Chains A and B, each alone.
Chain A
Amino acid sequence: MERIKSGITGLDEMLNGGFLPYSANLVEGAPGTGKSTLGMQFIYNGITRFDQPGLILTFEEFPHQYYSDGESFGWDLRSLEKAGKLRVIMTSPEVSQASLAQVDSHIQSVIAEIGAARILVDSLSHFDRLSEDPVARRGLLYGFINSLRREGLTSLLTRESPALFGEIEGPEEDVAFVADSYLLLRYVEIESSIRKALLVLKLRGSDHAKDIRQFEIMHAGIEVQSKFEGREGIMSGSPRRMADSFVEAFVKR
């Protein structure tokens, strides 16, 4: 099956070739883990390497933040906008949801104008303020995600995780249920230094890597590296050496 490649070193291999076409892909992580960078890289690579124009829908950051962040990786987003390959739209969840529910709305005309194939929605966390009722919120998200599919977009949806380390808590599973794939970015403390981990928790309709990989934000963007060898409890944020666990489980008894 054809895949929508992220072009991010190591990630497409984890995704068994890339994201599925027209799929909604959730990237969740704590502040600073690299969700927006991963999203921008997905859009930038789409335009420059795969000739797939893209849209960035921002609910919080001003567009100049993306231009400036992009510049630090050598991605000239302004030029791509001028060339009609990219649009950075500043809006709100209620407007994007209502616009996409209509026919010929502003957002739809932008999608058609540039022939967008990819979209970054940054971030879905802002949908939380639309309704306190989890059932209603899930309905809104479901409608929104389906409207992106209907428009022929492969989407990358970011969501903030409140916890810096360890397991997330709270009623956050609604989006993960609706999304086609679910990527988790985590901080991990190893020998007094902070590293970053990436895990593909779910990829609907496809096999995917099950191991937890290290990644770094390098000068040209994100690079997914090798898996964490010889450690367990990575997603807890404080992994232990496997040997320590063995000792704890069998020797110390």
Chain B
Amino acid sequence: MSNSDPEAYQEWNPFPRRSSPPGGGADLAARLMDDMDPEVLDFLKTTVNSFVKWDLVIFFSENPNTTDTAVNLARYIGRDVGTINTELDDLVEAGVLVQYQAGDLKIYSLTTHPLMRERIKHFVEASVDRQFRVKAIYHLIRGMR
């Protein structure tokens, strides 16, 4: 495929062609999210608003009976514990995870709340779609700037 052919580019480019000049990033982001399920979009904006949280949500969704410390969870998802500490606490605040204390250990588990479990399931199912992932990644990268 040649990048000089604008039609061909349009075929594989996951983002729609710019109709506004460079710098209209906010418009582009809004347009990208237009066709996203509002509930999933809200979950992405308010709860899974970083790559580490995304990893954690996917991990807990696949392993819903996990109960462990930040150090071990970091090992399971291949991240640094310093990176995931704040993210875990954010997910606890958002109601995705529950945190409890056992002796000196701070332990995290997936919530058993049925509505939150349903929202997580919905998000994970949506993220199987490549187009959704591309858009969500774009959204997260914009949020990091």
Contact = CB atoms under 8 A, between A and B. Distances in A.
A98 B103 contact: yes
B107 A106 contact: yes
B63 A95 contact: no
A92 interface: yes
B100 to A, nearest CB: 7
Interface in B84-124: 100, 102-105, 107, 109
B102 A90 contact: no
B12 interface: no
A63 B65 contact: yes
Contacts of A99: 67, 102, 107
A89 B67 contact: yes
B100 A95 contact: no
Contact of A105 (B68, B76, B102): B102
Contacts of B103: 98, 101-102
A110 interface: yes
Q: Give the interface size bracket for B toward A.
A: 10 to 19
A110 B65 CA distance: 9
B67 to A, nearest CB: 5
Nearest to A87: B65
Contact of B102 (A62, A64, A95, A110): A95
Contacts of A89: 65-67
A107 interface: yes
Interface in B12-45: none
B80 interface: no
Contacts of A94: 69, 105
A88 interface: yes
A64 B62 contact: yes
Contacts of B66: 89-91
Given A98-B102, A105-B102, A90 B107 contact: no
B131 interface: no
A107 B63 contact: no
Interface string A113-127: 000000000000000
Given A90-B76, A92-B72, A95-B72, A102 B65 contact: no
Interface string A41-78: 00000000000000000000011100000000000000
Given A95-B105, A110-B65, 11 more contacts: A62-B76, A89-B67, A90-B65, A90-B67, A91-B68, A92-B68, A95-B68, A98-B102, A99-B102, A105-B100, A105-B102
Interface of A: 62-64, 87-92, 94-95, 98-99, 101-102, 105-107, 110
